[in-house]
Copies of this chain bind each other. A is one copy, B any other.
Amino acid sequence: MNLKQLSEMLGLSQTTVSRALNGYPEVNEATRERVLRAVQETGYRPNKAAQRLATGKAGSIGLVMPTAPGHYSDVHFGEFLTGLGEEAVRHDFHFVIMPADPDDEVGALRRLAISGNVDALFVAYMRGHDPRLPLLKSLSMPFLVHGRSFGTEPDYPYLDIDNEGAFYDATRLLLQLGHRHFCLLNGPGHLDFAIRRNKGVVSALAERGLELPESCVSHMSMTDEHGQLAMERFLQLPEPPTAILCSSTVLALGAIRAVTQAGLKLGEDISLIAHDDVLPHLKPENFSVPLTTTRSSLRAAGVRIAERLIGTVKQDGPFPEQELWKTELIVRASTGAAPR
C-alpha cells in the first residue's frame, strides 16, 4: 500500500492525503478524518526512504559502534543505548548503527553522515585531541558528543560529567581518612575521561604535596579481568597502596578479587572508591563490602542526549550547547581510615 493507491482508493489526490497525514491546516476536517480512518483500516505507513528523499529528514540518529573480532563489547555501551532508546521511542525516532573497525571510526562516521541515512550524529568514547571533532564540525549536520576531548577547544555541543571533580573529591576524602599511598585503576589512557580522572587525582594529591608515580596508575579497558591483573601488580609494589581509585565498578569487581585473595580486608587494610555508572546488573551496594562510589547514571545521560539531539533535529530547541553534570560521592563500607 502506498500513497498513490491510498489516494486513489479515497478518490483524493496524493497532495491532499499527504497533507491530511502531516497535519497541514489547508484540509477539511471531514476529509482529514476520512483519510485517518482509511489509514487505520489499511495499515498504510509512509515509506521512510521516500520520505527522507523528499524531505531530507527521516527521524533517525546515527552512531558508530566500534567492533572487531578481538574488541571487547562494552557493558556501558548497552546501558547508554537503552537510555537513548528510552527517549527516542517517545518521538518515533530510530537509530542507525554503523559498525566499524576501531581503526576506521573517522571514516565510518563520514560515510554514515554522507550516506543520507541519518539526521544527526552522536559520538562517544571521546579521546584526547579526538580526530572526529574536526570532521563533525565540518559536516553541517547536528551532532552531540558524550564526553569531551581533552586538548580541543570546547566549542562543540557536548554532555559530560565532571570526571576531574569526581576523582578530585574522592581522592580528597581518602586523604582526609589518612591515606598516603594511592593507586589509580583507570580506563584506557587515550580516553578523555581517563585523562581527566587522572588529573583530578593528581591535583588533589598535589595539594598535600603528594605525587602519583606512573607505577601506581594502570590504564586498561574496563573488564573485571583487567581489574584483577592491575590490582595484583599494585599489591606487589615495594610500597603497596592503601587507597585505590577505580574508574568502573566492573574494574572494581576484579580488583576486589585480588584484594581478597591477597588476604586483605576491603575497607580496613585497603580502601577503594569506584566510579559507578549505575549499571543495573552491578550495584555497588551489593558488593560483599558495599562500595563507596562517585555516581552518575549513564542511562540518564543517554536519555538527555537523545532529548537534545532529537530536539535539535525537530528544531524544538534551544538547548544548552554544553552540559557538565556533577557526580555524587556516596560513602559506603569500602572506605575507612588508613591503617597505620
Contact = CB atoms under 8 A, between A and B. Distances in A.
A129 to B, nearest CB: 23
Contact of A96 (B81, B89, B96, B281): B96
A43 B107 CA distance: 11
A254 B115 CA distance: 45
A98 interface: yes
A53 interface: yes
Nearest to A108: B89
A315 interface: no
Given A67-B86, A257-B286, A280 B223 contact: yes
A258 B288 CA distance: 9
Interface stretch (A70-78, A140-148, A202-210): A70-78
Contact of A116 (B47, B112, B223): B47
Q: How large is the interface on A (under 10, 10 to 19, 20 to 34, 35 or more residues)?
A: 35 or more
Given A75-B75, A281-B75, A49 B53 contact: yes
Nearest to A288: B257
A101 B88 CA distance: 11
Interface in A255-305: 257, 260-261, 280-283, 286, 288, 299
Nearest to A82: B73
Contacts of A94: 96-99, 112, 117
Interface of A: 43, 45, 47-50, 52-53, 58, 60, 65, 67-69, 71-75, 77-79, 81-82, 84-86, 88-89, 94-101, 110-112, 114-117, 222-225, 228, 250, 254, 257, 260-261, 280-283, 286, 288, 299
